[in-house]
Amino acid sequence: MNQKLAHIALVVNDYDEAIQFYTETLNFRLIEDTKLSETKRWVMVAPPGTGECCLLLAKAANDEQAGRVGNQTGGRVFLFLYTDDLKRDYHDMKSKGVTFVREPVIETWGTVAVFKDLYGNLWDLIEPTNSK
């Protein structure tokens, strides 16, 4: 059997503001932005150095979806962004206005900090112990 996780849908309020945040603030790459209809686009972003999995930015299409923007997991950390240099990325993100709700902490398995994206979704920024 050969399977892989390809995309993770992230419900957003607006395509362009989400693209701007992920590409300019988090330094992700814009992989694709294809217009599918007057109201729907296929927008994928990914962190630099990523392999196959991308975020699919999905604009909320109704009130129920809009209610999930920023809280897709009921307040738990939603996404995990690995880095080879947490200190570098932490300072870069803070300088761009990213809110950290948990400052960097050294654990036995690595260093982790928790930040919010532009909608309030929680992310772990992780530098594994053996990343360098």
Place of tokens 């992780």: 126
Integer angstrom CA distances of residue 51 from 5, 20, 27, 48, 108: 11, 21, 15, 9, 26
Nearest 5 degrees, angle CA 110-CA 95-CA 93? 40
- The one-digit pLDDT tens for each residue of the chain (132 residues) are 888 888 999 999 999 999 999 999 999 999 999 999 999 999 999 999 866 789 999 999 999 999 999 999 999 999 999 999 999 999 999 999 999 999 999 999 999 999 999 999 999 999 999 855
Q: Which of 132, 19, 118 is nearest to 86 (CA)?
A: 132
Q: How far apart are CA 38 and CA 83, in angstroms?
A: 37
CA–CA distance from 121 to each of 58, 73, 108, 114 (Å)?
14, 8, 25, 10
| Residues of each domain in the chain carrying CATH 3.10.180.10 | 1-69, 70-132
Of 90, 92, 120, the residue nearest 106 (C-alpha)? 90
What would the CATH number be for the domain defined by 70-132? 3.10.180.10
b (16+ CB within 10 A) / e for 86-121: beebbeebeeeebeeeeeeeeeeebbbbbbebbbeb
Domain spanning 1-69, CATH class: alpha beta
Q: Are 86 and 92 in contact (CB under 8 A)?
A: no
* Structural tokens at position 64: 């129920």
